[in-house]
Amino acid sequence: MTESGKPKLAMYWGASCGGCEISVINIHEHILVVDEIFDIVFFPCIADFKYHHVESYPDKHIDVCLFNGAIRNSENEEMAHLLRKKSKVLVAYGSCAYEGCIPALSNLTTKDATFNKVYFDNPSIDNPDRILPQTSTDMPEGTLTLPTFYHTVKSLDQVVDVDYYLPGCPPEPPQIWAVLQVIVGGLLEGKPLPPAGAIVGAGTTALCDECEREIQEKSIDRFYRPYQLDPDPDQCLLEQGIICMGIATRSGCGALCPTVGMGCRGCYGPPEGVIDQGAKMLSAIASVINAGDETMEDDELEHVIQEVIDTIPDPAGTFYRFSMAHSILRRVKNGKGDS
Amino acid sequence: MNNSKEQNEKVGVYICRCGSNIAGIIDVEGVAKWAEGNANVEVSRENQFMCSSTGQELIENDIKEIGLTRVVVASCSPHMHEKTFREATERGGLNPYLFEMANIREHGSWATNDKEAATQKAKSLINAAVERVVHHQPLDKIPVDINPATLVVGGGITGITAALELAEGGNKVYLVDKEPSIGGHMAQIDKTFPTLDCSACILTPKMSDVGNHPNIELMTYSEVESVDGYIGNFSVAVTKKTSYVNDKCTACSDCEEICPVSVSSEFDVGIGTRTAIYRPFPQAIPNTYTLSKTTDDSQCVAGCPIHQNAHGYISLIAQGKYEEAVGLIVADNPLPGICGRACAHLCEDVCDRGNVDEPISIAYLKRFAMDKVGDYELQRPENEQKQRVGIVGAGPSGLACAYDLRKNGYQVKIFDALPTAGGMLTVGIPEYRLPKEQLEKEIGKIKDIGVEFKLNTKIGQDITLKELEKQFDAVYVATGAHEERKIGIPGENQDGVLSGIKFLRDVRLGNKINLGENIIVVGGGDSAIDTARTAKRLGAKNVTIVYRRSRKEMPAAFYEIEEAMYEGISIEFLTNPVSVNGNNKVQEVTLQRMKLGTPDDSGRRRPIPIEGSEFDVPCDNIIITIGQRPDIGPLLLKTNKWGSVEVDQVTLQTSRKKVFAGGDCVVGPDTIVGAMAQGKTAAESIHRMFQKLDMYEGREKEGAYYSNIKVDLDGRVIAKRARIPTIPLEERDGFKEVNLGFTEEQAQREANRCLHCSICCDCHLCETVCQPNAIDYSMEEETVFLSVGNIIVATGYQLFDSRRIPQYGYGRLDNVFTSFEFERMITASGPTEGHIVLRDRKTEPKRVAIVHCVGSRDLNYNEYCSKVCCMYSIKFAHLVHEHLPNAEVYNLYIDMRTPGKGYEEFYHRLLEEGTHFIRGRVAEISDAASQPEEEGKLMVQVENTLIGKQQRIPVDMVILSAGMEAQADSAEVSHLFKMGCDSSGFFNERHPKLAPVATMTEGVFIAGACQGPKDIPDSVAQGGAAASQVASLIGQGTVMMEPVRASIREDDCSGCRICNNLCPYSAIEFIVDDEVSEVITALCQGCGTCVAACPSNAIDGAHFTNIQVISQLQGMLWDVQPEPEKANA
Amino acid sequence: MSDHYEPVIVGFLCNWCSYRAADLAGTSRIKYAPNMRAIRVMCSGRVDPQFVLTAFINGADGVLIAGCHPGECHYVNGNIKTMRRFLLLKKTLTQWGIEDERVQLLWASASEGIHLAEKVNAMTEELRALGPLRWHEKVLGENGKVPVAVKEA
C-alpha cells in the first residue's frame, strides 16, 4: 500500500497445493531482498489484501504477477482475468499454471466421477444425505454462492495470455531468484526481457543433460515400478526399466529425483520444441522395448511386445502426470463438453 | 476455409486433368478456383497433361515470370512423376525440393466413382500439399565416391557371370562362395534344356576363367560375416573356414586315395560318397582339396576319458589297415588288448550310431585289431630327460601315467605291494575275462620302453613317502581301492563270510580258498558278477546273487549279467541280507524283500525293506561285493571323510607339492579308463611342473566331455551291431577266456557301421602321403576385411525337401528319387557313370514316373510356381528315352508351363517321343499292391483331369521334380545386407518392374534365383544386369544420393541415447566427449524412425520434418478442423 | 441440410509398401471408400504419436497407420518399432476413451492394393458405426464446427 517507486509484486493461487508459495519463501535470505526491492500488493498467503483492493488498482498497476495453480473453477478463471488486466507481466508460476499438473489429472475422468469420489464414495466421508456443493444456495440470511466447478482443468494460458512460464512442481529456488532478477532488471534498468511466451527459469534440452548417471544405449526388457527394483546407483534408471521421464522433460531442476534413485516425474514439462510430452515419452520408450523382431509371425510379434507393455500399468497417468491440461487432447473423452 | 491467414510464400498450384482420368471424376476447374482461396497460393491453374512438355513449361514460366517460391502439382502418384516435376521446378530456377505433389489420380479419381467425394478429397490433398510446401527447405543431393572394387557373393552361374563381366571391364572383384568350389547347382546338372547341351561343358570354361582372371580374387569355403558402410564404401568381413590344406596342394589326389573315411557326398546329393579330405568334383575351381573336420571330437573320442581315437582306428579297420589302426591305438593307450576286453567302453554309450540302431562295438574292435596284428611297439621317447618320477601302484592309473611320462623321456619307476604288476587288472578281474598272458604281454611292452618295476613293496611299510620324495623329482600315488566295505549286519564276522575283492585276489594269486556248495553273493556291480562266475568255476553248485534293487538299477554290465545267468547263476532282485546265522560258521542267511521308493542322489530308486518279508536261506559261504574303498595307510597325505586322498581337481596335486595322486584312491572305485585318465592327467601335470609351464591353462577337455557334433540320422539303413562269439558252456569250467573276439569280416562290417560324426577321423594318414606337405592340421579359421564399393548378392536357391510330402514316400520308398539325384545319376561322371538304375545300383527301370510341381503351386508348401520344373521334367523324360529306349515314361503335371525360346518346341518333340503326359496332381505314391501284378511296383495314384478318371500307374522308378526354395538362411543373409526378403525368403528387388536387380540398400544388388525361381538364361541375364549397373556406378565415380536424411541438432540433444540402437544402418553415433548423438549422413537411409523416437525433438528428418508433416495434416483436415487456436497449433 | 456423417480417416502410408499398395488399388481401378486421406512417410517408423493426436484434435475420426509386413520392411525393421509404439499408444488412448477402431495398424505390401482398399472400407464402416469423434466439438466443446461432406439426399 506504500507508494514508493518500488516495482509491485503480486502472487496468487489457482487450483494448487500451496507448494509454490512455499517455494518463493524457500529462496532463503533472498526473500529479504525481494521484500526490499518489491512492494507486495497482493499475496493472500503472506499479506492481507482483498479482492476489492486488486479491483481498485488501475490496469497494469502490478509489475509482476506470479500466478500459480491451474484453472479448476470459475473463481480461478475470474482471478486470472482480473490479474491479467492489472499486471504488466503475468508469469505462469509452477507446473499447475503452466500445464495443469496434478489437478489436471482429473481430466482423465469426469466432473461427476470426481464429485462422486470426493463427496460420496470415499472412506473418510460421511454424507448420508448425499449433499453436493451447489453454486448457489438460498438461506434465510440470503443467497450463498460457490464458484462453478469446471469439467476440464485448464492451464493459465488457456484462459488468458501469459508472458512467461516458470516450470516446476514447485520451481527450484535458484531458478526463481534468477527469473525475478531478470524481470526486475528489465523493469527497472530497462535490460532486455526474454521474448513473450518464453519458458524461463529452466533449460531447453532434456533432463539427461543434467543427470549424473551413466547413459548407455537403451534396450528395455520390461518395466518396473519403483518399489519393484533396487536400482543400480550409477546406471541410467530408464535402462534398468524404471520409467524416468527425464528423456522427455525440460532440464532445470538439476535432476534431483534421478540423483536419489527415483525416476523423473516430468514436472518441468516437455523440452523446447516438443508439443506433447506424454506422446513423445511414449514414442521414445516404446521404440526401445527389447521385444519382437522381423522374423516373427504377426501374432507372436504382437504378443511379445504386448507382454512388455503390460508392465506399464497406467501410461496416461505416468506420461501425462504434469502435462495433461497442456497435452494435445487435454482431457479424456466421455462426459459432455462443458468448460 | 484454409489455414494460413497471411501469405508467407508464393505457391503455384497446377492441377492435371490427365485427359479424363482425373477430370472425368473431379471438378478440376472448381478445385483450381477454390485453391486460390489459400493465402499462400499465388496462382492456381489446370492443364490437360501436366507431365507433357507444355505442362512443365507452364511451371517453369510461372517461376520465372510470377516469381513463384513453391510449386504444387496435383496429378498422379509421386512414384510416377515426382522426378519429372522436380526437374521442371529446377529448370524454372527453384530448388527441386521446393515442390510437392498431390496424388489425386491413383488415390482420387481412379479409386471412386463418387464425384463429390473425390472432389472434396482432391481439395484436401491439394490444401495439404500447399500447407506442407510452404515449410519445405531447399535441399542438395549428397555426393558419394565409389570404390571400384566389387564383392560378388555366391559362385553359381549368376555370380560367375557378374564377376567375369566386371573383371573384364578392368575392375577388381572378390568372389565369395561358402562351398569349396564355385559352380553352384549348374555344376551338378547333366544337360540343360531345351538345347540339351552339356552343362559342365559350358560352365567349366567360365569357372576356369574365374579361377585364372587377374582381376578376380576367389574366396571359396568362405562366408560373409558382417557388412558395414554404404554405397561406394562398404567394409565387409569374410571368414575363411579352415580347410586344413594350404596353397601347396597340387590336387594329386594321393590323400583322397588313402583317407579311410567315407561320408555321403553333398555334391552327389547322397547317392554318392566322398572321403573326409575331398574335392567336390574333378573340375572344381579352385582345384584343391578340403579336409572337412568338426571342431569338437567324434562322440566316441570325446566320451572316452583318455580320448582314445576310436573313430580313427574304426575307420582304419574298415579299410583293413590294421597295422595303422594299432599304431593309432597304442599312441594313446599302453593297455590296448586289456581295454579291448575289460574296458567299460563309455564311448559306446555316447556313440551316435546308438540313435539309429545300436552303438558300434568299439571296445571289441580294438581287441580285434590288437589280436589281428599280434605284436606291437609302444612309443619310445625321442630324447631322454633326467627327471625321475616314482609311481606308487602298478594298476591302470599308474601304468598310464608311466607311459605318458616315459613318452616325454622321463625316468619312471613303479612300486607295488603285490607280487605282480597290474593292480586290479590282475587281482580284480577274473582270468576268463582277462587272460594272464595278455596282461603279462602288455606289462612287458611297458617294461620294453624302459619303465622300472619294484613289486612286493608296500608304501609306509617297506618304504615311506618321505623317502620317495627324496629319491624322485615327483611322485604319483595310485594305490587304488582294495578294501571291501562291510554291510554292517549281525553275524557278518563269522567264518565263511568272505570279501569279494579278497576272494578274487586269492583266486588270481593261487591262494588256498575252501568254498562250499551253496554260495550267496551280495551286491550288484561287475565284481558281484565276477565273484559269482568265479565261484561257479571253482565248483560251487548253487550260486545266487542277492541284489537290493531291480535289474534296471543293476550297475553290472548288461552283457555280463546275461552271461552269468547263461552260466546258471541265479539272481534274487529286490532282496537284501538282514543277518547271517550260524555259530562262528555260516549256516544260513536271513534275507528280506525290498521295494523301490523315490530316487536317491545316484538317481536310482531307493530300496525300502518290506516288513515281515524276511526268509532264511541255507548257505556255506556269503561273499560280500558291495564296493571297495581306498586303503591309503600311513601315507601322510590329507584324506577326506571317505578315506580318499584330497587333490587339486585339475592338476591332481596333493597337500605335498611334489606328490600327485589319482585313480581309485582319489575318486573311489571307478572304471579302468577312469583310472587311466587320472594317470594321464597326473603325467601332464608332472610334465608341466618339470617344464615350468602353466599348471591349469587349456585343460578343459581333459577327461570325458560332451561333443556338440550333430549328424543327420534320418535315412540311415538299420544294421544291428555284431555279437561277440563265445566258447560253449561245457568249456567254461576252467578259467579259459570266454569271449573269442570278432572274425575279420565281422570286424569289417562292424567298423563300416560308423557314421563318421566328426567326418575327419584324425588318423593323419593323409599327412604322411602328401608330398608337397600341403596338409596342415594346425590351420585356423581367419577373417579378412574387404573394402568394396558395391555388392552383388547371388546366393541362389535350395531344392525343396521332398521328405516334407510324406505321401510321396521320398526317404521311405527306395526308388523314389529327387530331381538332383537323377541329375547326378544321369551324368556320365556321376556315381553311376550315367546309368539309370534303381537304388540297388543294378536294375534298370522299365517304367518311370516324373512328378511335376513337387512342393510348388501347393498352398501347403509353396504357393508360387518354380518355373523350371516343367522344362527339366520334360528333359528328364527325354533322357530316359535316350538311355532306356524301351522304358515307358509318365509325366504327371498340373499345367504344362513352357514359356521361353524353344521351350514349347521341346515339349512337342517329347510328345512325339511317346512320353505319356497325364494332367493331374499326384495324390500318393505307395508300394502297397492291391492286385498281384502291382507287386514290387511303386503305385502312382493320380486323377487324370483330362478324362476325369482316377488312375493307378505301376512304375519302377519315380522322380520328384522338386521346386526351388529360398536358401534356409536367406532371412539372416537379407539382414546382413539390409535388403529385406519376402515371406518365401526370396530377396526383395527395389521395383518389380523397373529395378529388378537393385535393392533398397544403395550399392547392394541381387541377381539370379535368390530373388525368385529362375532358369539358367534368366539368371545369367540378371548376373549381367547387376554387373552393368555396378559398372555404371563405377563409371560415374561419384553418385548423388537423395538428401532425405536425418540430422541431430547438437544444441537440443540431451544425449539420452534413445535413438542410438534404433538405426538398422548403425548411422547414429554417440560422441562421448560432447555427450550428444550424431547422424553419419552417408549411412542414413532416411526412414525417420529416430526422428519419431527422439523425445526432445532434437532430430530433423529432412523433407519430413515435424512442421512439414503437421502442416500437411492440418491442411488436409481443413473441412473438419476447428478454427486454429493459439494454445494448440 | 440432412446431416449425413462421413468419417474422415488420416492414413499414414509408408513410401515403399502401403503407399504403393494404394497406388496399385487406384491403377487397378478398385473402387473403395474415399474417406481416407493419405500422408506419405518414408517408413511407418516415422509416424510420431504426436501426429496421431494432432489428427484427432484437428477433427479426424480415425487414423490408419500402414507399413510393410514384418520382415519385409525396406528399412529392415522400422515397422517393428511402429508396432511397439502403436501398441503402447493404443493402451494410452484407451484411457482417453478413444475406441480401438479409431487407430488401426495395417501391413500391406506393394502388391496388396485390394487388401488396403478392403481395410479402408472396413474401417470406414466401423467409424460410421461409432459416429463422429470431432474432438474439439464433442469432447472439449470449443470451436465446434458442423460435420462435413454434407450430401443432398
Q: What is the DSSP string of B632-695?
A: --S----B-TTSPBP--TTT-B-SSTTEEE-THHHH-S--HHHHHHHHHHHHHHHHHHHTT--S
C140 closest CB neighbour out of A293, A316, A337: A337
Helix (H) / strand (E) containing B401 = helix B396-407
- The alpha carbon of residue C79 is apart from the nearest alpha carbon of chain B, in Å, by 9
* Subunit contact C71:A294, Cβ cutoff 8 A: yes
pLDDT at B313: 96
Q: Enumerate the residues of chain B whose CB falls inside 8 A of the CB of residue A208.
A: 1054-1056
* Subunit contact C53:A312, Cβ cutoff 8 A: no
Residues B247 and B221: their CA atoms lie apart, in Å, by 14
Mean pLDDT (chain B, rounded): 93
pLDDT at residue B1125 is higher than 80: no
Express as a percent the part of chain B with pLDDT over 90: 79
pLDDT at B5: 59
Closest by CA to B167, choosing from B215, B211, B205, B207, is B215
Residues 192-211 of A with CB under 8 A from B: 204-209
pLDDT at B60: 97
pLDDT at residue A338 is higher than 70: no
Residues C65 and C40: their CA atoms lie apart, in Å, by 10
pLDDT at B976: 87
DSSP secondary structure code for residue B486 in this structure: P
Q: Which residues contact A181 (CB under 8 A, 6 or more apart)?
A: none
Length of chain C: 153
Residue B331 phi/psi, 5° resolution?
-60, -35
Q: Which residues contact B1021 (CB under 8 A, 6 or more apart)?
A: none
pLDDT at residue C144 is higher than 70: no
Single-letter amino acid, residue C151: K
Residue of chain A whose alpha carbon sits nearest to that of C56:
A329
Q: Enumerate the residues of chain A whose CB falls inside 8 A of the CB of residue B1095.
A: 206, 247-248, 271, 274, 280-281, 283-284
- The alpha carbon of residue B26 is apart from the nearest alpha carbon of chain C, in Å, by 12
Q: Enumerate the residues of chain C whose CB falls inside 8 A of the CB of residue A292.
A: 80, 83-84
Residues B1021 and B1014: their CA atoms lie apart, in Å, by 10
B439-484 confidence digits (pLDDT tens): 999 999 999 999 999 999 998 888 888 899 999 999 999 998 888 8
β-strand pairing of B1046-1048 with B1038-1041: unpaired
B989-1020 confidence digits (pLDDT tens): 888 888 999 987 889 999 999 999 999 999 99
C-alpha cell belonging to residue B666 = 582319489
pLDDT at B1127: 36
Mean pLDDT (chain C, rounded): 88
A187-241 confidence digits (pLDDT tens): 778 889 999 999 999 999 999 999 999 999 999 999 999 999 999 999 999 999 9
Q: Which residues contact B168 (CB under 8 A, 6 or more apart)?
A: none
Residues 6-35 of C with CB under 8 A from A: none
Tally Cβ neighbours within 10 Å of residue B226.
12
Give the number of beta-carbon pairs within 8 Å between A and C: 120
Cβ-in-10-Å burial (0-12, 13-18, 19+) of B944 comes to: middle
B24-68 confidence digits (pLDDT tens): 999 999 999 999 999 999 999 999 999 999 999 999 999 999 999
C-alpha cell belonging to residue B25 = 471424376
- The alpha carbon of residue C95 is apart from the nearest alpha carbon of chain A, in Å, by 7
Chain centroid to Cα A68, Å, comes to: 9
Express as a percent the part of chain A with pLDDT over 90: 81
* Subunit contact C140:A331, Cβ cutoff 8 A: yes
DSSP secondary structure code for residue C138 in this structure: I
B113 closest CB neighbour out of C31, C59, C148: C31
Residue of chain C whose alpha carbon sits nearest to that of B1093:
C48
Selected residue with higher pLDDT from B815 and A5 = B815
* Subunit contact C30:B107, Cβ cutoff 8 A: no
pLDDT at residue B112 is higher than 70: yes
* Subunit contact A336:C140, Cβ cutoff 8 A: no
The mean per-residue pLDDT over the stretch A301-330 comes to 96
Q: Enumerate the residues of chain C whose CB falls inside 8 A of the CB of residue A294.
A: 70-71, 73, 76-77, 79-80
Residues B921 and B161: their CA atoms lie apart, in Å, by 36
Q: Does C66 touch chain A (CB under 8 A)?
A: no
Single-letter amino acid, residue A52: H
| CB of B571 closer than 8 Å to CB of B565 | yes
pLDDT at B1123: 67
Q: Which residues contact B1113 (CB under 8 A, 6 or more apart)?
A: B128, C10, C39, C51, C54, C55, C58
pLDDT at residue A2 is higher than 80: no
The mean per-residue pLDDT over the stretch B391-400 comes to 96
pLDDT at C149: 25
| CB of B102 closer than 8 Å to CB of B82 | no
The mean per-residue pLDDT over the stretch B782-788 comes to 97
pLDDT at C153: 27
Strands of chain A (E only): list them: 8-13, 39-42, 62-68, 71-73, 87-93, 136-139, 142-145, 149-154, 164-166, 198-199
In the structure, what pLDDT confidence band is assigned to residue B652 with cuts at 50, 70 and 90? very high
Residues 309-328 of A with CB under 8 A from C: 309, 312, 314-317, 319, 327-328
Single-letter amino acid, residue B238: V
Chains that touch A (3 or more CB pairs under 8 A): B, C
- The alpha carbon of residue A35 is apart from the nearest alpha carbon of chain B, in Å, by 34
Residues B309 and B317: their CA atoms lie apart, in Å, by 13
Cβ density class B965-1002: b for 16+ within 10 Å, e for less: bbbeebbebbbbbbbbbbeebbbbbbeeeeebbbbbbb
Strand partners, B392: B415, B477
C-alpha cell belonging to residue A60 = 497494469
Select the residue from B974, B1054, B1125 to test the A interface by mutation, using most A Cβ atoms within 10 A: B1054
pLDDT at residue B1072 is higher than 80: yes
Which residue reads 526481457 in cell numbers?
A193
Residues B415 and A298: their CA atoms lie apart, in Å, by 73
Half-sphere exposure of B447 (CA within 13 A, CB side): 10
Q: Does A330 touch chain C (CB under 8 A)?
A: yes
Strands of B971-1049 (E only): list them: 1004-1006, 1038-1041, 1046-1048
pLDDT at C3: 65
A7-65 confidence digits (pLDDT tens): 999 999 999 999 999 999 888 888 898 888 899 999 998 889 999 999 999 999 999 99
Cβ-in-10-Å burial (0-12, 13-18, 19+) of B794 comes to: buried
B328-361 confidence digits (pLDDT tens): 999 999 999 999 999 989 999 999 999 999 999 9
Select the residue from B1087, B1107, B1110, B1111 to test the C interface by mutation, using most C Cβ atoms within 10 A: B1087
In the structure, what pLDDT confidence band is assigned to residue B314 with cuts at 50, 70 and 90? very high
β-strand pairing of B518-522 with B797-799: unpaired
Closest by CA to B961, choosing from B867, B860, B858, B850, is B850
Chain centroid to Cα B1113, Å, comes to: 52
The mean per-residue pLDDT over the stretch B822-827 comes to 95
The mean per-residue pLDDT over the stretch B258-281 comes to 93
pLDDT at A265: 96
Sign of the CA dihedral with A226 first, then A230, A234, and A237 last: negative
pLDDT at residue B726 is higher than 80: yes
The mean per-residue pLDDT over the stretch B1031-1056 comes to 94
Residues B180 and B1035: their CA atoms lie apart, in Å, by 33
SS3 label, residue B908: helix
Residues B390 and B1085: their CA atoms lie apart, in Å, by 72
When mean pLDDT is compared across B643-657, B767-781, B850-864, the lowest value belongs to B643-657
Select the residue from C3, C5, C8 to test the B interface by mutation, using most B Cβ atoms within 10 A: C8
Gyration radius from chain B CA atoms: 41
C-alpha cell belonging to residue A98 = 503452466
In the structure, what pLDDT confidence band is assigned to residue B635 with cuts at 50, 70 and 90? low
pLDDT at residue B366 is higher than 90: yes
What global pTM score does this model have?
Answer: 0.72
Single-letter amino acid, residue B17: R
Residues B1043 and C42: their CA atoms lie apart, in Å, by 13
Selected residue with higher pLDDT from B555 and B76 = B76
A208 closest CB neighbour out of B1055, B1061, B1089: B1055
SS3 label, residue B152: strand
* Subunit contact C75:B1089, Cβ cutoff 8 A: yes
Residue A101 phi/psi, 5° resolution?
55, -155
Q: Which residues contact A263 (CB under 8 A, 6 or more apart)?
A: A226, A237, A238, A242, A243, A244, A245, A246, A257
When mean pLDDT is compared across A65-79, B678-692, C138-152, the lowest value belongs to C138-152
Which residue reads 523493469 in cell numbers?
A187
pLDDT at B1103: 97
Helix (H) / strand (E) containing B923 = strand B922-926
DSSP secondary structure code for residue C54 in this structure: H
The mean per-residue pLDDT over the stretch C37-60 comes to 96
* Subunit contact A317:C107, Cβ cutoff 8 A: no
pLDDT at A3: 57
Phi-psi region of B557 (alpha: psi -120 to 50; beta: other; left: phi over 0): beta
Peptide bond connecting B194 to the previous residue in cis, omega within 30 degrees of 0: yes
